[in-house]
Structure 1
Amino acid sequence: MTAAARLLALPVLLLPLAAAAQTPPNAAPEATLQACFAELQPAARAAGVTPETWQRHTAGLAALPDVLDKLDQQPEFRTPIWDYLAALVDDERVAQGLAMLEQHRLVLDEVAQRHGVDPATVVAVWGVESNFGQTFGKYPLVQALGTLSCQGRRQTFFRGELFAALRILQAGHVALERLVGSWAGAFGHTQFMPTTYERLAVDFDGDGRRDLIDSVPDALASTANFLTRAGWKDGLPWGFEVRLPAGFSTEGQGRRVRQPMARWRDLGLRRADGSPLPELEQPAGLMTPAGARGPAFLVLKNFDAIYSYNAAESYGLAIAHLADRLRGGGPFVTPWPTDDAGLSRAERRELQQLLAGRGHDIGTIDGLLGERSRAAIRAERQRLFGERTPDGRAGQKLLRTLRAEALLPATDSAAPASPDMPISR
């Protein structure tokens, strides 16, 4: 958050109440948002947004109700980690990442030289954030941030981002029609928030603009600059998977509970392949995102730098693991503690095809499990497994069962197959 936004946080915190008091209870969404904007304009002006910029970009805007729904449904905190990582770090993304490493090798090598972050880590952030520039988001930033500035929780935070987005437009760094991104206001190849852009974006290609949308070099260098400023140390690992000794208690442990590597060796921890822990001076914390029966990791300061990009351990682990895969590493050694693992994006597309084959209207087969896909999944889980209140989760059991059913003769297709039966393809 910018210094101006922090200074303005207290006086603007009560503004929605004033706006609501002046707005009729049955007012249209546009009128409700405009009433709030009228109250916010003095704060915006104090934060460096001119009246002309404010009027040009906020006049006539209506609220976007679905961003409020997403505010309380962030996947990093609601999705089982085996589902989250299965979709973010799959063979398809690894192959794409390797191609990006080769395609942009000269830029990435220069970025590493200037900013001290290795190419695999930078490309991993790019892959997780926007699928290498294929998914920027669909929300007009001013409209989304305007909605979040006036409704829902964390309004003070989003106002700082709204004012920053308007300053970016005001300075001419990005055209309005290009300033489109996530529901929460992140934009560009590596999804910077507007205040982060103002602090850390880099003009790497030398064209006079810090362009995270149409300049891959600017975006990659800006990401490396972010990580360096967050404490990344070149040449050190983010961490690594470990094997816990039998009966080891993880109570009281966590990413922030750091101990010397020698102490972890004394406690009996080894690397996941059975080799001894490395000789490192940095202390490490033990992270067990699925409990002691799942994969365990010793994480160092470089993990904190990744974590600062988006404060969720599952997110940080996705980037760290993808970077390892791009360096030639393999999947985690310890399996996740579930009998129904998550689906890769290719498997999600296959599931959608099977659902469509059963007559479900799921829209585009794209691997993105939206509401229509989840409604079809709920119906099939109820039909196949007798679940009374299916939750719409897609897993390996459902995919295997539908695969098997699709291979049955038409007269037998109504009979559910065992989710654990072997499938030949």
Structure 2
Amino acid sequence: MSVNQVLRRLKSAAVVAGLSLSLLLPAGQAMADAGFQRWVASFRSVAAQSGISGSTYDRAFRGVTSADPEVLEKARYQPEFTAPVWDYFDNRVHEQSITVGREMARKWKPWLDRIEARFGVDRHILLAIWSMESNYGEILKNDQVMRNVVRSLATLAYGDQKRAKFARTQLIAALKILQRGDIDESHLTGSWAGAMGHTQFIPTSYQAYAVDADGDGRRDIWTSIPDALATAANLLAKNGWQGGQTWGYEVRLPAGGKFPSGSMSISKWASAGVTRANGKAFPNGGMNAELKVPDGRSGPAFLMTKNFFVIKRYNNSDRYALAVGLLADQIAGYSGMVQDWNRPFTKLSFTEKQELQQRLSQYGYYDGKFDGKIGQGSRSAIMSFQSKAGLDPDGHPSLEVLKRLRGQ
């Protein structure tokens, strides 16, 4: 039976029952879907003006009949919680991300050798970016996170005024990726905002930097690890990565010193009393560096070199670039930070945080994954337990809370 026949029968039944058809169907959703479909039809000419063929457009939108409500919800959601500095780094630079990074360094060594030789970018930086962007590809296996890129970007272009211009530009770029044949429409997946593949490139960045490292004729950052890592290396190289140089140094500051903002040579920083936190000498006093104190003057301090700011071309965030650098160093076998963040509790190891989540779940406070990452769900569960246990409900994943849970 056709859809029209079904609707006619429903309408007839509604009339007999004295009901309106609008009571039988979700009218608001139907109107929204109709509006979205009109937008898709009208955007076809815009795509054609950008060189997208009708067959590519039809193939890309086959089965895309409605906007994605979850994409619009994520676009509207503005998180009120700003993670303290220790929380950001604890969730990204930890035992598991380091261990898996070292495993991946061994597994992909032949390709990392080639990529490093071609682009001059430190392999450990690439592995750290891979970890930060997709947890070494694990996020690509999560159907609740990965979405149809064409549908996501069309949804934003249609329904999110703030991101509409960005989304239209990215949608055209995504259609060009399909038209070139780098990936088929069933595998063109990404985040709700259109970031794609193991190393999470938006379509325009993909167009600018994508590399076919494995030589199969396709620039496939979704299923080819060599292509994904080479693409990340290409971005860094084209933005000025300095081969054989570090991203920066953890340092100690002299008591009471006042320092200028901006960049000056490491030798000048040293003459002002700045020393490396591990006690070693600076290897290159002529290199320029900029002082960063992400946790205030009493917390860890860093001298950031040119490569730190190149990493920021990947993600324009000091925290992101520092996390990449710190994780890369530990994957490479160097020790971690000498000075810890200004945290108001005793830190848990990664496995202890997993145990914390398991015990919170056991007592009915938590229903998320035991992934060792302390997000809003874990913090809310901790606060609920703390309140019931008569503790200050600060939500911190502390050894003190874990010990109390062990004693339950």
**What is the alpha-carbon distance in structure 1 between the residues aligned to residue 85 and residue 32 of structure 2?**
36
Change (3 A) 1:48 1:348: farther
Residue of structure 2 equivalent to 1:47: 50
Unaligned runs of 5+ in 1: 1-23, 408-412, 414-425
> Match for 1:34 among 37, 44, 55?
37
Unaligned runs of 5+ in 2: 1-26
**What is the alpha-carbon distance in structure 2 between the residues aligned to residue 132 and residue 237 of structure 1?**
23
Residue of structure 1 equivalent to 2:364: 359
Matches within 5 A, 1:2-151: 28-58=31-61, 60-71=64-75, 78-136=82-140, 137-150=145-158, 151=160
Residue of structure 2 equivalent to 1:274: 279
Residue of structure 2 equivalent to 1:21: none
Residue of structure 1 equivalent to 2:254: 245
Change (3 A) 1:303 1:372: closer
Contact kept, 8 Å, 1:111 with 1:221, in 2: the verdict is: yes
**What is the alpha-carbon distance in structure 2 between the residues aligned to residue 43 and residue 362 of structure 1?**
45
Residue of structure 2 equivalent to 1:166: 175
**What is the alpha-carbon distance in structure 2 between the residues aligned to residue 213 and residue 328 of structure 1?**
28
- Structure with the greater alpha carbon radius of gyration: 2
**Count of matched residue positions in the alignment of Structure 1 and Structure 2:** 375
- Normalised TM-score (structure 1): 0.80
Deviations 1:324-359 (A, max 9, x none): 112221121111112136666534322220111112
Name the stretch that deviates more: 177-186 or 52-61: 52-61
Name the stretch that deviates more: 291-300 or 274-283: 274-283
2:250 aligned with 1:262, yes or no? no
Deviation for aligned residue 1:367: 3.6
> Match for 1:194 among 197, 203, 217?
203
Residue type matched to 2:385 in 1?
Answer: E
Residue type matched to 2:364 in 1?
Answer: G
Change (3 A) 1:369 1:239: closer
Contact kept, 8 Å, 1:354 with 1:403, in 2: the verdict is: no
2:378 aligned with 1:404, yes or no? no
Residue of structure 2 equivalent to 1:331: 336
Residue of structure 1 equivalent to 2:8: none
Change (3 A) 1:98 1:50: same
Contact kept, 8 Å, 2:91 with 2:374, in 1: the verdict is: no
Residue type matched to 1:273 in 2?
Answer: N
**RMSD of aligned alpha carbons:** 2.7
Name the stretch that deviates more: 168-177 or 285-294: 168-177
Contact kept, 8 Å, 1:83 with 1:341, in 2: the verdict is: no
Residue of structure 1 equivalent to 2:233: 224
Change (3 A) 1:364 1:270: closer
Deviations 1:1-25 (A, max 9, x none): xxxxxxxxxxxxxxxxxxxxxxx98
Change (3 A) 1:348 1:152: farther
2:322 aligned with 1:313, yes or no? no
Deviation for aligned residue 1:152: 4.8
